[in-house]
Amino acid sequence: MTPDLAEHETAIVNEIERFADNVLRPQAAAIDEEARFAIAHLQALGDMGIMGMNLPEAYGGVELSGPALYRAVELIAGACGSTASMLTAHFLATDSLLIGGDEALCERFLPAAADGRALGAFALTEPEAGSNPADMRSFAAPEEGGYRLKGSKCFISNAGAADFIVVYAKTDKAAGARGVSAFVIEPKQMEGIEIGPHEKTMGLRGGHVFSLTFDCHVPAENRIGAEGTGFRTAMKVLDNGRIEVAAQATGIAAAALNDAIAYAKERKVGGHPIADFQGLQWMLADMATDLAAARALGHQAAAKRGGRDRYSTESAFAKLYASEAAWRIADKALQIHGGYGYTRDMPLERYLRDLRIFRIYEGSSEIQRTIIARGLLA
């Protein structure tokens, strides 16, 4: 079930659904098999305005509402998880600018990001600072005209092809989270930025992630917001990102459920479709209930997106439940397919591999439980 959308949003979502079905889905297996970077779809996504769905019209974006954006991401992920991963990583970068940056910085980077001319990346995670970004070691020291940025990041989606990367680093080592600031670096133009080969991941094999190291000069005008505001910006960005992870999870889960239903109607045992068997019907009922609950939490969080009030708890609810429910749904879908589901000729094993990371990145399930508990106990 999708919340009511404005008429123009419905038209956009319908166009995205056609694109997902006709372009993304037929290529998804090959992208996974060949570990082909999903930026192959970048220009088409840009031409359709999809790269700027989260941005206001003033910066060339489509400015979809939270619920419409949720549905769009869900459709893309259901067709190709790797493409959705590349897209939403780009959103993390542009949201960082939109939330924390001044007008001049937004005007420099966002119009090109909105139409696909520039790809963004979001660099927060470090080898020894994952679930607790306040432990980061990357540091930006003042120097003439800006900062000397030194450090390293890991598991950074899109970094190998990014035109701009939002990097979070300490400007005050003694201040903990309050000492974190945000900067935009341009790896294709700045010296001192090294990006490693993409990691060989279990799933989302076309949504490439990279390590990067840097010892580079960053102009003062590339700082996002005031010094010390970076951590607050990152947490607001992740509130949005976790809703998008939930949308990706429910999109893949919906694809798995639809495949299971179709197979159950076709597959016969003893002359009867296996859909006639009560045990299997109950499996499908549980899958559909899990999906409906995950979507409800996702829609609840998405409806708050862009509002004045924080929605950290709602986004944590959505990501936690959707990422874990989607795994259950895809696992049952594979079980319904039996031995055929275990082969790589069917997409079930890809769904499971793609879904596994959702319980880890942008805040693990354990971190989501911590966020929820803190809200309860505040």
Cβ atoms of 179 and 330 closer than 8 Å = no
Residues acting as catalytic residues = 362
The separation between CA 343 and the C-alpha centre of its own chain, rounded to angstroms, equals: 27
Give the domain extent around 196: 120-230
> pLDDT at residue 133 above 90?
no
- CATH number of the domain encompassing residue 53: 1.10.540.10
* Max CA distance (Å), the chain: 79
Specify whether the CB–CB gap between 234 and 133 falls below 8 A: yes
Same domain? For 124 and 207 the reply is yes
Q: Does 281 share its domain with 183?
A: no
Candidates 319, 321, 317; CA nearest to 329 is: 321
The residues facing 181 across adjacent strands are 169
Percent of the chain at pLDDT above 90? Answer: 95
Burial of 202 (0-12, 13-18, 19+ CB in 10 A): exposed
Q: What CA–CA distance (Å, rounded) separates 155 from 181? A: 20
What are residue 121's DSSP bridge partners?
A: 165
Q: How many CB atoms lie within 10 A of CB 196?
A: 14
Residue 157 has pLDDT above 70, yes or no: yes
How many CB atoms are closer than 10 A to CB 146?
17
- Whether 62 and 88 share a structural domain: yes
Instruction: List, for residues 171-192, the tens digit of each pLDDT value.
Output: 999 999 999 999 999 999 999 9
Task: Give the pLDDT confidence score for residue 3 in this predicted structure.
Answer: 73
Domain total in the chain:
3
Running DSSP on this structure, what letter comes out for residue 129? B
| CA gap 293, 290 in Å, rounded | 5
User: Does residue 283 surpass a pLDDT of 60?
Assistant: yes
Alpha-carbon span 252 to 179, nearest angstrom: 38
Query: Over 70: is that where the pLDDT of 325 sits?
Result: yes
- The stretch 118-142 carries a mean pLDDT of 91
2 assigned to some structural domain: no
222 and 313 belong to one structural domain: no
Q: Please count the helices (runs of H) and the strands (runs of E) in the chain.
A: 11, 10
Together in a domain, 247 and 218: no
Give yes or no for residue 1 having a pLDDT over 60. no
CB atoms within 10 A of CB 269: 11
Do 370 and 253 lie in one domain? The reply is: yes
Give the mean model confidence (pLDDT) for residues 303-313: 92
Side chain identity at residue 352, one-letter code: L
**pLDDT of res. 209:** 98
Which pLDDT score, from 0 to 100, does residue 308 have?
83
Q: Are 326 and 294 in contact (CB under 8 A)?
A: yes
Torsion of CA 204, 123, 105, 222, to 10 degrees: -150
Average pLDDT on 230-243 reads: 97
Are 299 and 332 found together in one domain? yes
Of the pLDDT bands very low, low, confident and very high (cuts 50, 70, 90), residue 122 is very high
Residue 122, SS3 per DSSP: strand
The rounded mean pLDDT for the chain is 96
Same structural domain, 239 and 289: yes
240 band by pLDDT with thresholds 50, 70 and 90 = very high
**Predicted TM-score of the model (pTM):** 0.96
pLDDT tens sequence across 34-72: 999 999 999 999 999 999 999 999 999 999 999 999 999
The Cα 201–Cα 144 span in angstroms is 40
Residues 24 and 102 in one domain: yes
